[in-house]
Amino acid sequence: MIEDIKKYRYTDGKPNLRRFHQARWDEPVIFELNQPGQRGVLLPATEAEIKEEVGDVLATIPETMRRKQPPALPEIAQAQVLRHYLRLSQENLGADLNVDIGQGTCTMKYNPKVNEQLSRLPGMAEIHPLQDEDTVQGILEIMYRFERMLKEISGMDRFSFQSQAGSQSIYTCAAIMRAYHQANGEASQRDEVITTIFSHPSNAACAKVTGYKVITLYPDEDGYPDLIALKEAVSERTAGLMITNPEDTGIFNPKITEFVKVVHDAGGLCFYDQANANGILGITRARDAGFDMCHFNLHKTFATPHGCGGPGGGAAGVSKELAKFLPVPVVGCDGSRYFLDYDRPDSIGKIRSFYGVAPVVLKAYAWVMSLGAEGLKEVAQVAVLNNNYLLKKMLEIPGVSAPYAAGKHRIEQVRYSWQDLYEETGISSEDIGLRAADFGLHYWTSHHPFVVPEPNTLEPTESYTKAEIDEYVGVLRQIAQEAHTDPDLVRTAPHNSTVHRIDDHDPLDNPEKWAVTWRAYQRKLKQK
Amino acid sequence: MNQKKSVVYPYIPNSEPAIKKQMLAEIGVSSIEALYADIPEALRLKKALDIPEPFLSEYELVRHVEEILAKNKTCKDHLNFRGAGCYQHFVPAVCDEINGRSEFLTAYAGEPYDDHGRFQALFEYSSMMGELLEMDVVNVPTYDGFQAAGTSIRMASRLTGRKEALVCGPISPDKLSMINTYCSPDISILQIDFDPGTGQIDLDALEKAISKKTAAIYFETPSYLGLVPIQGKEISGLAHKNGAECIVGVDPISLGILAAPSQYGADIVCGDIQSLGMHLQYGGGQAGFIATRDEEKYLIEYPSRLFGITPTTVPGEYGFGDVAYERTSFAIREQGKEWVGTASALWGITAGVYLALMGPQGLTEVGQVVMEKSHYAARQLAKIKGLESPKFTGPFFREFVVDFSQTGWTVSEINSALLEFGLFGGKDLSQEFPELGECALYCVTEILQQRDIDRMAAAVKEILK
């Protein structure tokens, strides 16, 4: 009789949890693959006539500036290099492979394959940044068009795409803030930037790099940014406000216009960190709330891939008044021809080489063009729908809570707390995260400091199905149960992942032991 | 019945009306609107966004984007002699295969347990860079070579407690602009000139400028104008004698033949890795590295992630994790070193693949071939009447300055004419270095063949005839 395999995969009509096992190739470090004499790739040689004409060109370089020994790189044939890296890739959990709602604040949405293909066409991949403008009209047109879209989405008047990621955009805006106060002769007086603890740490860190003292506000009792605290913090020393909204808790600050007004009245500028913009596209705009500057992460909100941590894309937007300070160049159009505008004497100068990550701008543009105005709003609405559905399901798990704004809905993410579970079982949020790896899922706690105890930040975006969200919640429910029934299983996780737990962090924190390269590791082993 | 049917978007599974309704019911609200209750009415956008009509089908989207990109002329259908910070080197197919893998391309910030591959690949990248640089600490890539230089100078300032840096020799004005903006709150940047004949750093000027206020001397090899400084030891000696750090900016692809800067006294080495397996991408392939000796005082000044190797609970298993994480802005916000965030990890992984494919022989060969071909090109141009090529007598790698001032033509005119021959001529330097007159920076890598170089030289000759 033919067997019904499927029936074993369901309990009470619901799918069982996935019996996942991550790839475990037990792959050596690449230097161990060394086979002297082998080649991974051969290069075009120099023609004999050239050699004859130029002679020993290396002799033009003095002995002291020439390499004596070839670099001690491994020697590996091509298929073996490929195999090594393919194995490493399999030991990595890309968003394409998992229900990647566990990396809250990161907006791990689907990165359309077609956009990736477009970005690898010769018309994008094989153009040099210093080609004459007439030969790069296509990419300039893309940048120009995309700037128009972001202007409409944010209400701002000009954008620069020169920054390579969110933090560099935040830095750009901090530098513009400084330039603005310098132009007004108030730079030395205005030396403080105000941020909130649930804004990304880069707001505080970039302000500091720009030369500011940082004042960090904590939330009021309900978890909203504290307006009274802000009023106490502002003064003639205030350079500006740099905040995320909705904050990393997923809570939208309903008094945001008052925040802006308080800072404006004190003579400061307001920067809107829009890393969490996914739930508000087409719903509300930075400029309409009175902000002077904002930024978007193209690798978050605009669906370009995160690349293991870059290259991303940052878009820094400013009001008309601040446009003259943007990095050079910006893209202009005289009606028929696109050009790079360097004639900007008040500019803060360069932030990054060339014009930022152009292929990321292309991918973001293609993404918007696949959706249009209605589609963008649909993105936001479904991201919020998914998040509030997830919130409902999460709160059904004993041991989890969503601190602050009790009973309220959230925008695109929530910072949960496993404090109750921790008190009952001793299983921490970090333990839960490691166990989640056994189910093929990412899991993130929170930025530091942990204001929310035993935190866990989840952001389901618009990209996942109800069944996938249910799967994620199902795994967390299972782990919460295990915390009671078999806490050691959780405490010793992961079991089904590529590697096991690192219990001893001394080799990563002790200068005698840490090794950031293989050569450092070999040297320290010999010294042992 | 002409009612518009709502679109179910392929990237938004829950845009399907029935499922949406079901989820709203589970939440206990009647509409998505209700979920936005915290956003005040006054802030709600009352109109539809004014952006172009979309191409809902993937096919139409491709047509649209391809039509725009077709307006670009590319370095595939033209011979390219432009570099100046972004280089058209050979990109092995395996590099693209690996950086196009979903597992790497779409991952982000997972833990070493679920994203072990990324940690190992980046540890290996740093390790291979370490061999090339002969240094024990190399960071997970930062944004680009500009950022690497800016951060290196800030690191030196923190290390020495001093607030002045000397930037020596020809440097990209764009890079100098970035360094100035980045360091300006508390570090002064002073520029040390180069000899107009050799292009070498003016040591006398450097000696006069250095003092106990100097945090660092920064110079590049090859420099922005392609020149290889010959006084590495003297410069680092001068830095150390004055208690300053010696920072050297380098393109790692040159290090198969050029000495690793650590060998002539560099304390911090930085640069861009775009040459190591990244396509041009209109400048999108840049990524920066910073390297130092493995001393605690250096390591704790890095803002970047540093991935280290460590045992796990299973004997023989390689584990990886963040080294000295507590120094970062992730850990301690504004108290951390500068900031850390998304930067260029995928290009780091790709550069690792490139170095593994090339090996010691490949790196040595590419350096040699680039030297030979670029020198050949300089000689062919030198044969043309009125051209000074190379303009500077000092040694050069990959790029050299050609002076057209005696021809009566501007570089801009020559480049426009070269375009008609299907060529992108050298980078016009007349705006950035007006004191040089009508000069261009020509770049020749291993991918250009003798016939390509000859074709370029013949075209220049033809234009000037």
Q: Would you say residue B1 has pLDDT above 90?
A: no
Which residues in chain B touch residue A472, judged by CB atoms under 8 angstroms apart? Answer: none
Interface contact B178-A351, CB threshold 8 A: yes
On whether the CB atoms of residues A5 and A481 are closer than 8 A, the answer is no
pLDDT 10s digits, B164-214: 999 999 999 999 999 999 999 899 999 999 999 999 999 999 999 999 999
Angstrom distances, CA of residue B361 to CA of A76, A172, B150: 11, 42, 32
Q: Which residue of B has its CA nearest to A311?
A: B344
Q: Would you say residue B2 has pLDDT above 90?
A: no
Which residues in chain A touch residue B96, judged by CB atoms under 8 angstroms apart? Answer: 120
Of the candidates B115, B255, B342, the beta carbon closest to that of A71 is on B255
Which residues in chain B touch residue A385, judged by CB atoms under 8 angstroms apart? Answer: 14, 20, 23-24, 27, 32, 35
Nearest-Cα distance to chain B for A152, in Å, is 6
DSSP A386-446: HHHHHHHHHTTSTT-B--SSTT---SS-EEEE-HHHHHHH---HHHHHHHHGGGT------
Nearest-Cα distance to chain B for A263, in Å, is 18
Predicted ipTM of the assembly = 0.98
| Contact residues, A window 420-479, toward B, CB-based 8 Å cutoff | 433-434, 436-437, 440-444, 447-448, 462-466
- Structure tokens that stand for A164 in this block: 């390579």
Mean pLDDT, residues A260-269 taken together: 98
Interface contact A187, partner B, CB < 8 A = no
Q: Would you say residue A438 has pLDDT above 80?
A: yes
User: Which of A427, A423, A422, A414 has its CA nearest to residue A384?
Assistant: A414
Mean pLDDT, residues B352-379 taken together: 98
Q: Would you say residue B4 has pLDDT above 80?
A: no
- Structure tokens that stand for B358 in this block: 């090339």
pTM of the shown model = 0.98
On whether the CB atoms of residues A472 and B286 are closer than 8 A, the answer is no
User: Which of B287, B281, B288 has its CA nearest to residue B247?
Assistant: B288
Which residues in chain A touch residue B419, judged by CB atoms under 8 angstroms apart? Answer: 132, 134-135
Mean pLDDT, residues A210-234 taken together: 95
- Structure tokens that stand for A332 in this block: 């202009």
Q: Would you say residue A339 has pLDDT above 70?
A: yes
Q: Mutate which of B113, B263, B301, B423 to test chain A, going by most A C-beta atoms within 10 A?
A: B113
pLDDT 10s digits, B7-33: 999 999 999 999 999 999 999 999 999
H or E segment and range at residue B349: helix B345-382
Mean pLDDT, residues A77-94 taken together: 98
Angle at B230 (CA atoms; ends B225, B235), nearest 5 degrees: 100
Mean pLDDT, residues A241-245 taken together: 96
pLDDT for residue B3: 53
DSSP A327: P
Mean pLDDT, residues A307-319 taken together: 97
pLDDT for residue A251: 95
Nearest-Cα distance to chain B for A61, in Å, is 6
Looking at every residue in chain A, the average pLDDT score rounds to 97
